[in-house]
Each structure stands twice: as structure tokens, then as C-alpha cells.
Amino acid sequence: MKAVRSSAGAVGVVDIDEPPGTGELLTIRAASICSSDLLYVRLGLQQVVGHELAGVRADGSAVVVEAMMSCMECELCRSGRYNLCPVHRERALGATADGGMAEQFRAPAEHLVALPDGLDARDAPLVEPATVAWHAVRIAGTGPASRVAVVGAGALGLMAAAGARAQGAPEVAVDARYPHQAEAAERLGAAVGPSGLYDVVVEAAGTPSGLDRAIDLVAPGGIVVCIGVQLGRVEIDWGTLFHREARLLPSIGYGAHETGREMEDAAAMLAADPEIARALITHRFPLEDAAEAFRVAGDREAGALRVVVEL
């Protein structure tokens, strides 16, 4: 079977003998390319890539894969905080374990989430990153009384804007660098260009300047929630946080809460608002053109938001 493998700083379509992963066998319909996939390739990791996956079970039902492959047995997992289980770092798809950008993939049944009516499997790879964004805005306490700003208008930041609106925020503004990002933000109902101070600021750029900008925008008593990945130590404007008694909150992955899984919440949001997928999926490629798909995904100035590889 065919799969997309990273090797020596590039990706290629290769033949593999067995489906990657363990557990229930899925036929993969589509996989999207995340910035972390691009990072793993640049680092020279040699794995089958892909963790934003949608496919079908043997009975034909469509599912998405929870890529947080935790143990589901420890206290953290039992409480729904499986994003904090140390085991998932040993099973990071595309990094420490083979991912699922392949014709078939195996995943534990407990890490499969059924697609709701109205969400096409070809669009469903967005569910995984949308869940990362949903988790961030949820743990920041977003609601009907929240003014929300998003710094970083890549696909993850734009999905945070969509998630904030779905969670009731009456005002959402996005700090966008490129025209295509600004256009997508407006299509999602967000304003372009934050003005004033905000109760919740989502840092989705993953850069020191992005974090500085997010702290500049936070209101007294507000929260800066960070889904952008900062590698190593970072410097922060402690004086602004201190004098505004604002909080800095890291956010990683997703989990479950009292009423269900966050991935179910994000899937329901995408099913209810098809414009999110229309705005964010800018390019689609067949499996055999995966190398070109990765090239386009890495060129933000070319207009890519989310690039999907269809199998």
C-alpha cells in the first residue's frame, strides 16, 4: 500500500507492507498537513507523516482519529485530561510513531470519533486541529461575556476564532498578516485588526513577537492562552501581565469534559457551519502529489491555509 514518508528533510510516496498504527483498521479518505508535520520534516524525522486523519471503518461509517494516543488508563486519562498523559508523547503520530497519511491506518477504537451528519470525510481532517483550537478557547473561559482576539491567522488561529464564536463570544478579532488570512477571518465572522484590550487573547503564531503582541492586547484580569508552539525558553513582558493581573495559560492538545469529548464538540461545529471548511481548506491534492502538497503548505505567502491530501 502507498504512504507518505518523511526522510532526509523531504517527503515522498512510498510502498509499505503493513498499515501503520495499532488497533482497528481504517481506510483513510483524507489527511491534512499541519505546521508540526512541516517541522518534523525539517527536523529530518523518518516516519510516515500525518495526524489529522479522516477515514472509514470496515462497516463504512466515517470517523476521525484522536491523535492524542494516551494510555486511557491513568488518573489523568480517566478524568478526561489525556492530553497531559505522558504516554502520548511516546506515540506522537509522524514524530515518535508512524502517522496515518497512508491508504490504510490502524487506530485504537477508543480514539475514534464518529462524524456527525453534514460533515464530509474529505473535510473532516480539520476536526483534529479544530479540536486543538476549541480546547484552548474553552479552558480560557470563553463565553457570551468575552471579547476575544486571536494573534496569528494561520489555520489554527482562524479555527480558534471560529471556536470562540461557536462558544458564544460576541466579538472576535483576528490579527492577520496576509490578505488571504484576513479574507478568511472575515468569512468566519471575525473582525480584522484587534482594537483595544480583550478578555481572552489566543496566541496562535508561535513566535516571540506573537506572544508580545498577545500580552499587549490582554485586558486587566484577562487570559492569554497559547496554542502556538514556542521551542525552548521564552522572554515575556512580565510587567504588563503583572500590572493587569492577567494570566498566561499554555494549551496543549485536547481531551474530554463532563458532557463529552472536545473532538465531538469541534466536529459538531464544523458540521453546523460548512463555511469553516470552505474558508480554510485552500488546496487539495491526490496522494501521488503529496510532495507538492507539502511544498504548498509550507508557503504561507502563496495563500495556503489548510492543505488536504485525498486518498
Do residue 185 and residue 261 come from a single domain?
no
Tell me whether residue 275 is in a domain. yes
Beta strands 218-226; 256-257: pairing state: unpaired
Contact criterion met (CB below 8 Å) for 4 and 101: yes
Taking the C-alpha atoms of residue 171 and residue 189, their distance in angstroms, rounded to an integer, is 9
Residue 37: what residue type? D
The pLDDT, as a whole number, for residue 176 is 95
Taking the C-alpha atoms of residue 41 and residue 217, their distance in angstroms, rounded to an integer, is 33
For the chain, what is the domain count? 2
- Other CB atoms within a 10 A radius of the CB of residue 257 amount to 15
Do residue 287 and residue 237 come from a single domain?
no
Of 206, 226, 250, the position where a domain reaches its end is 250
Taking the C-alpha atoms of residue 61 and residue 83, their distance in angstroms, rounded to an integer, is 26
Taking the C-alpha atoms of residue 112 and residue 65, their distance in angstroms, rounded to an integer, is 5
60-to-20, 25, 28, 70, 243 alpha-carbon distances in Å: 20, 12, 11, 26, 56
DSSP classification of residue 232: S
Tell me whether residue 136 is in a domain. no
Beta strands 281-286; 306-310: pairing state: parallel
Taking the C-alpha atoms of residue 264 and residue 114, their distance in angstroms, rounded to an integer, is 8
1-to-12, 13, 20, 95, 167 alpha-carbon distances in Å: 14, 10, 11, 21, 41
The pLDDT, as a whole number, for residue 262 is 97
Query: Could you give phi then psi for residue 294, rounded to 5 degrees?
Result: -70, -35
Residue 94: what residue type? G
Contact criterion met (CB below 8 Å) for 128 and 51: yes
Do residue 211 and residue 289 come from a single domain?
no
Do residue 18 and residue 76 come from a single domain?
yes
Helix (H, G, I), strand (E, B) or coil at 124: helix
Residue 236 structural domain: 141-250
Do residue 246 and residue 260 come from a single domain?
no
DSSP classification of residue 84: G
Do residue 172 and residue 220 come from a single domain?
yes
Tell me whether residue 105 is in a domain. yes
The per-residue pLDDT string of the chain (311 residues; one tens digit each, 9 = 90 and over) reads 999 999 989 999 999 999 999 999 999 999 999 999 999 999 899 999 999 999 999 999 999 999 989 988 999 999 999 999 988 888 889 889 999 999 999 999 999 999 999 999 999 999 999 999 999 999 999 999 999 999 999 999 999 999 999 999 999 999 999 999 999 999 999 999 999 999 999 999 999 999 999 999 999 999 999 999 888 899 999 999 999 999 999 999 999 999 899 999 999 999 999 999 999 999 999 999 999 999 999 987 789 999 999 99
Tell me whether residue 219 is in a domain. yes
Taking the C-alpha atoms of residue 22 and residue 64, their distance in angstroms, rounded to an integer, is 15
Of 234, 250, 266, the position where a domain reaches its end is 250
Taking the C-alpha atoms of residue 210 and residue 96, their distance in angstroms, rounded to an integer, is 28
The pLDDT, as a whole number, for residue 206 is 93
Of 250, 267, 297, the position where a domain reaches its end is 250
Do residue 125 and residue 260 come from a single domain?
yes
Do residue 6 and residue 121 come from a single domain?
yes
72-to-53, 115, 239 alpha-carbon distances in Å: 20, 21, 40
- Other CB atoms within a 10 A radius of the CB of residue 97 amount to 18
Give the CATH number for residue 105.
3.90.180.10
Do residue 234 and residue 169 come from a single domain?
yes
* Residues 6+ away with beta carbon under 8 Å from 207: 152, 228, 230
- Other CB atoms within a 10 A radius of the CB of residue 1 amount to 14
Do residue 244 and residue 261 come from a single domain?
no
Do residue 114 and residue 233 come from a single domain?
no
What count of Cα atoms within 13 Å lies in the side-chain half-sphere of residue 311? Answer: 25
Q: What pTM, to 2 d.p., does this model score?
A: 0.96
